[in-house]
Amino acid sequence: MAEFSMELNEDQLQLQKWVHGFAEDVMRPNAEEWDEREEFPYPVVEQAAQIGLYGWEFMAEAMMNDPTGLTMPVAIEELFWGDAGLGMAIMGTGLAAAGIAASGTPEQVMEWVPQCYGTPDKIALGAFAASEPDAGSDVGGYRTSAVYDEANDEWVLNGTKAWITNGGIADVHVVVGVVDPSLGSKGHASFIIPPGTKGLSQGQKYKKHGIRASHTAEVVLDDVRVPGNCLLGGKEKLDERLARVREGKPGNAQAAMQTFEATRPSVGAQALGIARAAYEYSLEYAKEREAFGRPIIMNQSIAFMLADMATEIEATRGMIWRAAWLGKQRKFQNAEGSMAKLKAGRVATWVTERAIQILGGYGYTREYPVERWHRDAKIHDIFEGTEQIQQLVISRAISGLRIE
């Protein structure tokens, strides 16, 4: 078992430099344009694919072959330092890949994860569809039905998913469906919806406050039929799990939460990248901007804000890296993944707000990037479990009680 360390190995340092270079040279010059366009940035993602930054091989190396758990958070921090919307466009397919890895058999992982990404010459997209219009944090409130047609060995899915990254434009959708409504969230399963499957369509595309280069939309499932082998994990394993739950025995975590638990430290790294971008920019601005005959950083009110920003960023990185390591070792004790995500979302929102304050009126205009970073930061208090859901998860973990 790897020992936890805040010191990156040589490969991780090289990766950090490589991703940072792409973020600086490709993402930052294009960030404002795609934020304004509010369209999926295919050209940027294609450039990432051409250098190997977007693809299942990179994901496998960073997630599965890294005993420390730190490689993915390091890469994500640099991507989101470049731009959150473009970063989400590059990393969004990873949610589908994580969903497949969390619930699928080894054969399903090998078959479907590569199809989520396509090839450098022809990229594909993946989407993980869990949330619904009336049930986001309330996973027990999902209504999308998954009914087994035994005669044809097919699953039939009906329902609407909401707030789905790459929803409707993805080649491969991973959809959480309800197979036994009487069991609440424990009656869920995940399904692969292959490319071109009839009955799946895009519903409303959302016009968002931030991360606007990332496509977010509803996914509508109208009598969507998929082969039996598209049930992640297989029917025998599902039947065994449901039987245990019905008998009151411990069962595996429900499908959506398996994916969320695997990705929360990485979501924290997204927020960290945004916070760091805003801090670094406002630090340089404060050293160059003069007022009353001297750089504004010479004023304690500005210098102390920057000191606090730097401190919070360093503390957050430590929490994220430790949570990522614990998750890799399967040693979570007190919901450290949720702690890291909660802290990072709060810090990103606060740091970007402070950056606007340091820039003053300029910070509130679109001529400077800090207002975009502030808009991008807020989503990290909301998606993959709101701030309040993280507090609930943490409070249950530290108390051992079923706090409602």
CATH superfamily placement of domain 126-246: Butyryl-CoA Dehydrogenase, subunit A, domain 2 (2.40.110.10)
The domain made up of 10-117 has a fold known as: Butyryl-Coa Dehydrogenase, subunit A; domain 1 (1.10.540)
The domain made up of 255-399 has a fold known as: Butyryl-CoA Dehydrogenase, subunit A; domain 3 (1.20.140)
Task: Return phi, psi of residue 187, to 5°.
Answer: -100, 25
Question: How far apart (Å, rounded) are the C-alpha atoms in residues 177 and 175?
Answer: 6
Residue 25: the pLDDT is 98
Asked if residue 218 has pLDDT above 70, the reply is yes
Task: Return phi, psi of residue 291, to 5°.
Answer: -150, 135
Instruction: Tell me whether residue 336 is exposed, middle or buried, using C-beta atoms within 10 angstroms of its C-beta: 0 to 12, 13 to 18, 19 or more.
Output: buried
Residue 366: the pLDDT is 95
| Letter string b/e over residues 11-22, b meaning 16 or more CB atoms within 10 A of that residue's CB | ebeebbeebbeb
Higher per-residue confidence, 250 vs 255: 250
Q: 69-118, pLDDT tens digit by residue?
A: 999 999 999 999 999 999 999 999 999 998 998 899 999 999 999 999 99
Distances (CA, A) of 194 to 64, 109, 155, 228: 24, 14, 13, 12
Residue 1: the pLDDT is 54
Look over the chain and give the mean of its residue pLDDT values, rounded to a whole number: 93
pTM of the model: 0.94
> How far is residue 141 CA from its own chain's centroid?
22
Question: How far apart (Å, rounded) are the C-alpha atoms in residues 2 and 66?
Answer: 10
Share of the chain above pLDDT 90, in %: 83
Distances (CA, A) of 213 to 9, 122, 208, 278: 33, 20, 10, 19
Higher per-residue confidence, 7 vs 250: 7
Mean pLDDT to the nearest integer, 33-42: 98
Asked if residue 254 has pLDDT above 90, the reply is no
- Token pair of 342 as six digits: 């909660």
Catalytic residue among 367, 384, 387, 404: 384
**Beta strands 294-295; 290-291: pairing state:** antiparallel
- Token pair of 398 as six digits: 């530290």
Question: How far apart (Å, rounded) are the C-alpha atoms in residues 33 and 42?
Answer: 13
For the chain, domain boundaries: 10-117, 126-246, 255-399
Q: 219-231, pLDDT tens digit by residue?
A: 999 999 999 999 9
The SS3 call for residue 192 is strand
Q: 287-344, pLDDT tens digit by residue?
A: 999 999 999 999 999 999 999 999 999 999 999 999 999 988 888 888 899 999 999 9
Question: How far apart (Å, rounded) are the C-alpha atoms in residues 94 and 89?
Answer: 10
Is 384 among the catalytic positions?
yes
**Beta strands 290-291; 216-227: pairing state:** unpaired
Q: What is the DSSP string of 320-383?
A: HHHHHHHHHHT--SS-HHHHHHHHHHHHHHHHHHHHHHHHGGGGGSTTSTHHHHHHHHGGGGTT
Same fold, 126-246 and 255-399: no
Residue 250: the pLDDT is 66
Residue 139: the pLDDT is 76
The contacts of residue 381 (CB under 8 Å, 6+ apart) are: 345, 346, 349, 387
Identity at 10, one-letter amino acid code: E
